[in-house]
Structure 1
Amino acid sequence: MDLIARVTQHFEDSAQTKLDAAHALAAPLAAAIEILTNALLIGGRILACGNGGSAADAQHFAAELVGRFEAERQELAAIALSTDSSILTAVGNDYGFEQIFSRQVRALGQAGDVLLAISTSGNSANIIAAIHAAHEQGMQVIALTGKGGGEINEILNDKDLHLCVPAERTARIQETHLVIIHCLCDGIDALLLGDE
């Protein structure tokens, strides 16, 4: 086995996936940045959720907004719904894993807020339930998916945005989701602080 060639192929595949995504998603990403920034400017919050690596991405995104991305600025209202182990285990135990995010969306979300819903397959039952809850609350949804978007592609409404990475492999989708998250953070900062 040629491990050097195998490693090199990962880098090449990752770079190509990101280039493909740049061409497909630049315009919807710009629209997503405007939605998120406008929500923050009117006092709204961004609720982010995902499972596994996508949970880490949701936490990463919230940390960049509450802390800072690359420039010093005021704190921005973002909450990762995957971080409170007491809520997750209580809701999971009492109501089922499918409701761990939707109950938080109903408790914390309101019109003017945005749900950032992350699922590489687009078929995560608890993310789908969270999207339904967001719609019930009058929230907009920005969905980050791959693999064609799965069921999430079918339930988004015309006010929502779907950022679907044009890839089938989970690792490539997750790598590209991280770039998307950094684009969102950079764009929010650029709109709030000016492009310097």
Structure 2
Amino acid sequence: MLQKVKDIYSESIQIQISASSLLSENIANAAQMVMQCLLSGHKVIACGSGRSHANAQLLVANLLNRYDLARPSFPSVLLDLNGAIGNALIFEKARETLYQHQFNAIACPGDLLLAFAPLGSEKTVLNVIENAVEKELRVVALTGANNDTIQGILAAEDLQIAVPATKESRILENHLFVINALCELVDLSLFPSA
């Protein structure tokens, strides 16, 4: 069992090393996109399906509450299906379009979509990305190495942060790193003296 733990660490570290050289520029560019969105008075909309929903939720919590700095809340919304909203939509709509209805109701020109799709095949998230592209909203898609579908949907001004891994658990933990890096970059850029 001890060796397995060491193997998991080793696998995770190797992916982080690879991601460092492959993703740093895209993470910095994504932070710029978030800052431009917020500074122009718009909101960040986040979504994820399955276990990646928790990552989207963490991003929104960091933007609404704080990351490291005590600062004003940033406008951000999580597409979510909890409670009565989820039950009503599930009862009346196809599962693949559930987030789409919320997105269409709240998305405005200038908003930014951060979509978490580690496997690249999450229909609920793919449909929201397609909607965002149709509405000409900018998109940051956080994916894994298998991302051909999403890559084909994104517009030229959109951004993909594709973790160099195919195992969902490694992708999800790297998405957590990306979330932390984005929030730290945004905080430090908007509040440099804090």
TM-score by length of 2: 0.96
Q: Residue type matched to 2:126 in 1? A: I
* Contact 2:81 2:87 (C-alpha < 8 Å) held by counterparts: no
Task: Work out which of the residue numbers 162, 168, 171 in structure 2 matches 1:170.
Answer: 168
Q: Name the residue aligned to 2:98.
A: 100
- Is 1:145 the counterpart of 2:156 in the alignment? no
1:30 aligns with 2:28: yes
Q: Which residue of structure 2 lines up, in the alignment, with residue 115 of structure 1?
A: 113
Q: Which residue of 2 aligns with 1:126?
A: 124
User: Aligned in 2, Cα 1:85/1:136: closer, same or farther, shift over 3 Å?
Assistant: farther
Extract unaligned runs of 5+ from structure 2: none
5+ unaligned residues in a row in structure 1: which ranges?
none
RMSD of Structure 2 on Structure 1 (CA)? 1.3
Q: Larger deviation: 85-94 or 52-61?
A: 85-94
Q: Describe the superposition over 1:154-184 as per-residue Cα deviations: whole angstroms up to 9, x where unpaired.
A: 1001011000001111111011000000011
Give the TM-score of the pair, scaled to structure 1.
0.95
- Secondary structure of 2:45's partner? strand
Letter in 2 for 1:91: L
Of all paired residues, the percent bearing the same amino acid is 31
Aligned residues: 194
1:117 & 1:178 partners in 2: Cα distance?
A: 13
Return the letter of the residue paired with 1:96: A
> After the TM superposition, which segments of 4 or more aligned residues of structure 1 sit over 6 Å from their partners?
none
- Please list the CA deviations of residues 96-129 of structure 1 after superposition, one character each: whole Å capped at 9, or x if unmatched: 1111111111100111100111011111111110
Distance 1:195 1:160 in 2: 30
Structure 1 residue 83, shift from structure 2 partner: 5.2
| Distance change (3 Å), C-alpha of 1:99 and 1:112 | same
For 2:61 and 2:25, locate their aligned partners in 1 and report how far apart those are by CA, in whole Å: 25
Deviates more, 1:90-99 or 1:173-182: 90-99
Determine helix, strand or coil for the equivalent of 1:115.
Answer: strand
Deviation at 1:146?
0.2
Q: Give the match for residue 49 of structure 1.
A: 47
Change (3 A) 1:195 1:174: farther
State the shift of 1:15 in Å. Answer: 1.2
Q: Which residue of 1 aligns with 2:37?
A: 39
